[in-house]
């Protein structure tokens, strides 16, 4: 009867797991450091965790603390030994090695989860793997991304996060829920035998930023991320797979160089961290971090505030195995503060880990309190990550997801952007249209030569000339080198690859130097560490690919990208490390031509490329030139937004010509680069309604109503001040009293005139307050947003007039802010004042409001109207309407004798405003980005005419 009661209790717990709402996953990134994983669950899930722990047998408790590697049968599926570890030893997690396709991997994980479901408690497994460069590391048809050092070479944090997101999607599809990535090790030792290109590099800040990006990418997409190897494996000279490394740097170095990436990951909400089998002498001179309570509990838990899962590195590594053995080390690491023991190695060693922990628990050597503490963390994370919801995956769907085209495209783009052109003595790019022959040569890597064959195939696909390749031993002899030189002398150009996981072999460096003596152009490619070039610094050109780590695990897209660079693709990478005495951190060259001054220069280049035969017919260059002629017209008008828009169209036309083989690859790359440069030149000067909309969202939604003197108005004032300061302006504020005993503020940003004494002054203004209870999206979040965006786009233009951007408070209670501002102007300032352009309610999407009223107090054309009208004519904008009206902040300027105009959308004829004017319905969904863009372009053009005119 007792047995049945226990079984019923287990079933009750399992039903609870299936029916209780799961804590929202998005909350995992905001876990406070003083909370345990259980604290982040709702009450029902907290109670569930406690009840499960109470119902567990000692064997089941210990099983959750152990993560064995799986064992396979001849069909590459889990065998009976694995089943025994799950069902008899109650393993709560597994780590999977080996290579399978996506469908088989999904079926593999399903089998493991099925065996777990058949246990008494039925708790799902953490299914884990080392997938540092993507799921392809163990799933043959999945996406392979560049190695971490390659990702760091791109300096693209968004790309790093997208890579982790795509990998998480492929992991979940194939049944994995936990990734041992990214490495947070700062690789300060160039001869580190185990980390190398697996690290983001030598710079602590870069490693920190990249680590956070990937932690967020994994965990926001439902996969545990594990920064490793705490507290840092980047400065070791020994490989913990074979020896017990020790680092002797001081506590200051530890805290300033090696710990920050882990602290950044913790602050970003990392849910697990992996330990290193390294003695950190500054913390514990006797024990490796994995076994040290001072490191895991004292440093990681107590000092750094980490409350997630601590998992050990593989315990079968010689650093642990040779010094303590599987059983003793398992007990020591749990006592030290780890939650999960990664029990790799033989089946006997795995069982020894389970049995030693169980014996220690039953004897009291491991206390119930200590074990239950880890169980709480483990079970809480399994709930948070939804493991109880649906433990199985669809093998057919897995194949589709790992072959997602966007993932492959992302990987290829990242590989291209990671290629680091370290040196180029006018050797690259090679001309792909040439019939010149190429000799490709390189050394074996761990007795494998397919790397060189692949590179040769990629070269042949790029060039019209013949390609011959050969392979030497890992450390080529003098005889081999002589033979390679003889072959090289028969070719027109040479590509040579080198590989090192530490020091480059002498034979490889001698080979590159000997090839250089042929006086043929020589390009070297480092396939492993980027430091190889220091052993052959005189080579003509060198590309670092970061493609292969110390075990020979390769990422082919990286050397394929290197071949693309050799034949004209623009390299995007910069060094994430220093190559001592040769190249600094951040160094990297590219093929970009001089930035074009205007579209006419690109047009001249098109004509030159046509003369050189780079187009299939004269139709393609003619179409490009027609486009460029129109863009020249917009440049003359200084219509930045139209220049940017139509250059985007020029790029689309280039894409069309490339897709239809109308343009050579070299010409396409060159013209695309020139087009991007011209866009980059004009983009900062182009008013962007998307950025303006972001300001409106913050003002109307994040802040909300901004009644004069209210907290909301004060918060808006601070926001505007911060935005002006971000743009680099001299910013000041004016505080003034308003009725009711409150205060309001004006915020002023000044763009100084250049090389002009006592310059004239142009005022660009808007009020930022709203009526009580109204979010004020249009009135006047739209005007304020336009003001901020105009400040941005005019910032870097040289002006011979002073421009003052002024955001007024307290407009809604009688123009108080603008009246105060003008009252503070001196007579000398008023005499220098040219015009005021005031924007009010410039974003309504009310359909009848199709006329942009230019309100002038006396109804007479003035300077502000004249410049606006001229700009409108140039922009083909026929919406302007001169109107006699005050009732806004331009009134104060008019009364002081300054030409002023107020710009506002109204219904033609009636001059009506939108029905939701001054109501709670004035929300961002009633804003038209198109109308803001029209006003922004108009103001930009008019202000440019008046403030940037010369002579």
- Cite the active site residues: 241, 313
Who contacts 485 (Cβ-Cβ below 8 Å, separation ≥6)? 514, 515, 517, 518
Distance of CA 796 to the CA centre of its chain: 28
Who contacts 61 (Cβ-Cβ below 8 Å, separation ≥6)? 53, 361, 371, 372, 375
Who contacts 493 (Cβ-Cβ below 8 Å, separation ≥6)? 430, 436, 437, 438, 439, 520, 521, 522, 523
Distance in angstroms (rounded) separating the CA atoms of residues 889 and 938: 19
Give backbone dihedrals phi and psi of 803, rounded to 5 degrees, phi first: -115, 125
- Residue 478's alpha-carbon distances to 448, 515, 875, in angstroms, are 21, 13, 72
DSSP assignment of 148-197 equals HHHHHHHT-HHHHHHHHHHHHHHHHHHT--EE---B------TT-SSSGG
Q: In what order do the strands lie in the sheet with 880-884?
A: 730-738, 742-751, 802-808, 761-767, 833-839, 900-906, 851-856, 880-884
Closest CA relative to residue 569, chosen from 646, 666, 499, 689: 666
Sole residue written with tokens 């160094």: 587
Neighbours of 778 (CB within 10 A): 34
Rounded to 5 degrees, what angle do the CA atoms 140, 144, 145 make?
Answer: 170
Reading the block at residue 119, the tokens are 């246990």
In DSSP terms, 458 is beta-bridged to: none
DSSP assignment of 332-358 equals HHHHHT-SBEEE-S-HHHHHHHHHHHH
3-state secondary structure of 836: strand
DSSP letter for 511, please: H
Distance in angstroms (rounded) separating the CA atoms of residues 45 and 36: 13
How would you label 160-183 residue by residue, b for 16+ Cβ within 10 Å and e otherwise?
bbbbbbbbbbbbbbbbbbbbbbbb
């Amino acid at each position: 009867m007792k047995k049945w009661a226990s079984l019923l209790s287990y079933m009750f717990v399992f039903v609870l797991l299936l029916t209780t709402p799961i804590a929202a996953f998005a909350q995992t990134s905001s876990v406070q450091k003083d909370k345990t994983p259980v604290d982040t669950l709702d009450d029902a899930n907290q109670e569930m965790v406690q009840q499960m722990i109470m119902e567990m047998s000692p064997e089941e408790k210990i099983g959750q603390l152990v993560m064995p590697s799986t064992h396979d049968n001849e069909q590459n599926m889990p065998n009976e030994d694995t089943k025994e570890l799950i069902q008899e030893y109650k393993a709560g997690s597994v780590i999977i090695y080996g290579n399978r396709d996506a469908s088989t991997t999904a079926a593999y994980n399903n089998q493991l989860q099925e065996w777990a479901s058949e246990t008494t408690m039925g708790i799902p497994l953490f299914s884990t793997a080392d997938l540092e460069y993507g799921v392809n590391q163990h799933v043959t048809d999945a996406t392979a991304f560049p190695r971490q050092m390659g990702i760091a070479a791109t300096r693209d944090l968004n790309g790093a996060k997208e890579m982790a997101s795509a990998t998480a999607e492929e992991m979940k599809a194939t049944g994995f829920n936990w990734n041992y990535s990214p490495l947070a090790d700062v690789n300060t030792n160039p001869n580190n035998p185990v980390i190398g290109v697996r690290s983001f590099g030598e710079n602590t800040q870069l490693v920190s930023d990249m680590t956070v990006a990937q932690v967020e990418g994994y965990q926001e997409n439902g996969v545990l991320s594990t920064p490793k190897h705490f507290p840092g494996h980047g400065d070791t000279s020994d490989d913990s797979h074979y020896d017990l490394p020790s680092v002797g740097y001081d506590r200051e170095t530890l805290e300033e160089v090696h710990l920050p990436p882990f602290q950044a990951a913790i602050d970003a909400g990392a849910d697990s961290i992996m330990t290193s089998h390294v003695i950190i002498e500054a913390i514990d001179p006797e024990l490796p971090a994995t076994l040290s309570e001072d490191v895991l509990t004292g440093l990681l838990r107590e000092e750094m505030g980490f409350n997630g899962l601590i998992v050990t590195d593989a315990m079968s590594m010689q650093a642990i195995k040779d010094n303590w053995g599987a059983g003793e080390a398992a007990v020591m690491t749990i006592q030290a503060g780890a939650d999960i023991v990664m029990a790799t190695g033989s089946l006997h060693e795995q069982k020894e880990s389970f049995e030693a922990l169980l014996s220690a628990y039953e004897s009291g050597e491991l206390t119930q309190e200590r074990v239950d503490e880890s169980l709480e963390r483990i079970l809480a994370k399994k709930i948070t990550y939804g493991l109880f919801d649906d433990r199985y995956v669809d093998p057919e769907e897995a194949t589709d997801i790992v072959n997602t085209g966007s993932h492959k495209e992302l990987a290829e783009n990242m590989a291209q952007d990671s290629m680091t052109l370290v040196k180029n003595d006018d050797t690259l790019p090679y001309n792909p249209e040439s019939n010149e022959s190429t000799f490709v040569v390189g050394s074996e890597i761990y007795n494998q030569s397919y790397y060189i064959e692949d590179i040769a195939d990629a070269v042949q696909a790029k060039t019209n000339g013949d390609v011959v390749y050969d392979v030497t031993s890992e450390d080529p002899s003098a005889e081999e080198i002589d033979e390679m030189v003889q072959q090289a002398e028969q070719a027109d150009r040479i590509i040579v690859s080198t590989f090192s996981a530490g020091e480059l072999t002498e034979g490889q460096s001698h080979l590159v130097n000997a090839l250089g003596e042929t006086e043929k152009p020589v390009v070297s490619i480092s396939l492993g560490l980027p430091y190889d070039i220091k052993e052959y610094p005189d080579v003509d050109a060198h590309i670092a690919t970061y493609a292969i780590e110390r075990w020979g695990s390769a990422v082919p897209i990286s050397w394929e990208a290197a071949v693309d660079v050799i034949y004209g693709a623009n390299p995007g990478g910069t060094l994430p490390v220093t190559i001592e005495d040769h190249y600094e951190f951040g160094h990297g060259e590219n093929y970009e031509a001089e930035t074009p001054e205007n579209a006419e220069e690109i047009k001249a280049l098109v004509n030159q490329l046509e003369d050189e035969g780079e187009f299939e017919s004269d139709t393609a260059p003619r179409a490009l030139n027609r486009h460029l002629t129109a863009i020249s017209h917009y440049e003359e008008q200084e219509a930045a937004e139209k220049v940017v828009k139509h250059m985007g169209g020029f790029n689309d036309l280039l894409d069309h010509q490339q897709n239809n083989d109308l343009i050579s690859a070299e010409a396409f790359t060159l013209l695309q680069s020139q087009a991007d440069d011209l866009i980059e030149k004009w983009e900062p000067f182009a008013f962007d309604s998307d950025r303006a909309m972001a300001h409106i969202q913050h003002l109307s939604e994040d802040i909300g109503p901004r009644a004069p003197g209210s907290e909301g108005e004060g918060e808006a004032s601070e926001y505007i001040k911060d935005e002006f300061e971000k743009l680099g302006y001299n910013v000041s504020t004016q505080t003034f009293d308003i009725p009711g005993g409150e205060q309001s503020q004006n915020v002023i940003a000044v763009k100084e005139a250049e090389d002009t004494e006592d310059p004239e002054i142009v005022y660009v203004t808007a009020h930022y307050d709203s009526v009580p209870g109204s979010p004020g999206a249009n009135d006047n979040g739209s005007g304020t947003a336009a003001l901020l965006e105009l400040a941005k786009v005019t910032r870097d233009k040289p002006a011979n007039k002073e421009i003052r951007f002024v955001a007024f408070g307290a407009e809604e209670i009688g123009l108080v802010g603008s009246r105060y501002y003008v009252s503070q102007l001196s007579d000398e300032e008023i005499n220098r004042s040219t015009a005021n352009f005031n924007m009010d309610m410039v974003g309504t999407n009310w359909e009848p409001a199709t006329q942009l009223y230019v309100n002038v107090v006396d109804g007479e054309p003035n300077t502000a109207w004249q410049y606006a009208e001229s700009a409108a004519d140039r922009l083909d904008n026929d919406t302007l309407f001169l109107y006699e009206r005050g009732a806004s902040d331009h009134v104060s300027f008019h009364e002081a004798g300054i030409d002023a105009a107020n710009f506002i959308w109204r219904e033609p004829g009636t001059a009506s405003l939108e029905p939701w004017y001054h109501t709670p319905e004035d929300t961002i969904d009633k804003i038209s980005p198109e109308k803001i863009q029209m006003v922004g372009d108009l103001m930009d053009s008019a202000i440019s005419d008046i403030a940037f005119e010369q002579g």
